[in-house]
């Protein structure tokens, strides 16, 4: 975890946001992140974020589920304990389709959710710095990283010019830490940013 200095611009509406993101990227400021109360389609592209591959992970988990279910049932019914059920074939593939399907879905869903939680670093008792409390309500919060040289005041003016209704400077942890939200636990806020 590193302490960094940020300039935070708060936008009241998403209309300005797309335009602002475009201008920030052209200007050469380092766009740390944009926090929104709901998903804005296309904002990820505008910010130049790579597409997520979480669906690929889901596909791999699903395939694992299918093969595990298939392999396990085949091994049990043809090798480990071939059970004679009314003289039907031991290798009864059509009868296994329901379980293979369910297991595919199960592994894919559970795997994807766990992966999602891992890559987004989400878990109970995980705490992260919040730049603006209303970013989960109705504000759209754009955060510029100014720890590497950019002037704070310049960046603040720049954000105001883009239509931010409120601009401030914050020094914050970029990672997460264990904590609860009922107390102040911002680690090392008093320290100066370390470059």
Partner 1 sequence: MALKYESQVRPPLVVGGKDYHQVTEDIVRPIEAQPSRLWWIGFLISVALLLFGVYSVYREVVYGTGQWNLHKTVGWGWDITNFVWWVGIGHAGTLISAILLLFRQGWRTGVNRAAEAMTIFAVMCAGQFPIWHMGRVWMAFFVLPYPNTRGPLWVNFNSPLLWDVFAISTYFTVSLLFWYTGLIPDLATVRDRAKLKWRKYMYGILSFGWTGSTKHWQRHESLALVLAGLSTPLVLSVHTVVSFDFATSVIPGWHTTIFPPYFVAGAIFSGFAMVQTLLLVTRKVLSLEEYITIEHIEVMNKVIVLTGSIVGIAYLTELFVAWYGQNPYEMWAFMENRANPFSPYGWSYWLMMSCNVLSPQIFWFRKMRRNITVTFFMSVIVNIGMWFERFVIIVTSLYRDYLPSSWATYYTPTIWEIGFYLGTFGLFFTCYFLFSKFFPVIAIAEIKHILKRSGDTYKENMDVVEKKAVDEVYEEAHAAHH
Where along the sequence are the contacts to partner 1 (CB under 8 A)? 33-44, 47, 49, 51-52, 54-55, 58, 62, 72-73, 76-77, 80-81, 83, 85, 88, 92, 95-96, 98-99, 101-103, 105-106, 108-110, 112-113, 116-117, 119-128, 130, 133-138, 176, 180-182
Please report how many Cα atoms fall inside a 13 Å half-sphere around the Cα of residue 140, on the Cβ side.
Answer: 18
Closest approach of Cβ 97 to partner 1, in Å?
9
Closest approach of Cβ 153 to partner 1, in Å?
26
Residue 179 or residue 193: which is nearer to partner 1 going by CB? 179
What distance in Å separates the CA atoms of residue 93 and residue 66, rounded to the nearest whole number? 12
DSSP character at residue 165: S
Closest approach of Cβ 11 to partner 1, in Å?
12
Residue 133 or residue 194: which is nearer to partner 1 going by CB? 133
Residue 184 or residue 192: which is nearer to partner 1 going by CB? 184
Task: Identify the burial level of 96 via C-beta atoms within 10 angstroms of its C-beta, where 0-12 means exposed, 13-18 middle and 19 or more buried.
Answer: middle
Residue 117 or residue 157: which is nearer to partner 1 going by CB? 117
Residues whose CB falls within 8 Å of the CB of residue 86, separated by 6 or more in sequence, listed in order: none
The phi, psi pair for 140, rounded to 5°, reads: -115, 115
Residue 1 or residue 76: which is nearer to partner 1 going by CB? 76
What distance in Å separates the CA atoms of residue 81 and residue 115, rounded to the nearest whole number? 36
Closest approach of Cβ 147 to partner 1, in Å?
18
Closest approach of Cβ 17 to partner 1, in Å?
10
CB-CB contact of 181 with 127 (8 Å): yes
What distance in Å separates the CA atoms of residue 157 and residue 23, rounded to the nearest whole number? 13
């Amino acid at each position: 975890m590193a302490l960094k200095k940020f300039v935070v611009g708060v936008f009241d509406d998403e209309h300005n946001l797309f335009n602002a993101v475009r201008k920030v990227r052209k200007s050469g400021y380092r766009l740390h992140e944009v926090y929104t109360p709901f998903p804005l389609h296309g904002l990820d592209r505008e910010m130049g974020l790579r597409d997520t591959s979480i669906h690929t992970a889901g596909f791999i988990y699903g395939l694992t589920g299918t093969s595990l279910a298939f392999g396990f049932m085949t091994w049990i019914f043809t090798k480990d304990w071939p059970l004679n059920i009314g003289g039907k074939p031991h290798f009864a593939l059509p009868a296994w389709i329901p379980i293979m399907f369910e297991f595919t879905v199960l592994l894919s869903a559970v795997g994807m959710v766990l992966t999602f939680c891992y890559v987004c670093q989400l878990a109970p008792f995980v705490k992260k710095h919040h730049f603006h409390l209303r970013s989960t309500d109705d504000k759209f919060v754009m955060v510029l990283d100014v720890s590497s040289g950019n002037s704070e005041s310049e960046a603040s003016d720049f954000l105001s010019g883009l239509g931010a209704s409120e601009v401030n400077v914050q020094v914050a942890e970029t990672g997460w830490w264990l904590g609860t939200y009922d107390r102040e636990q911002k680690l090392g806020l008093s320290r100066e940013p370390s470059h």
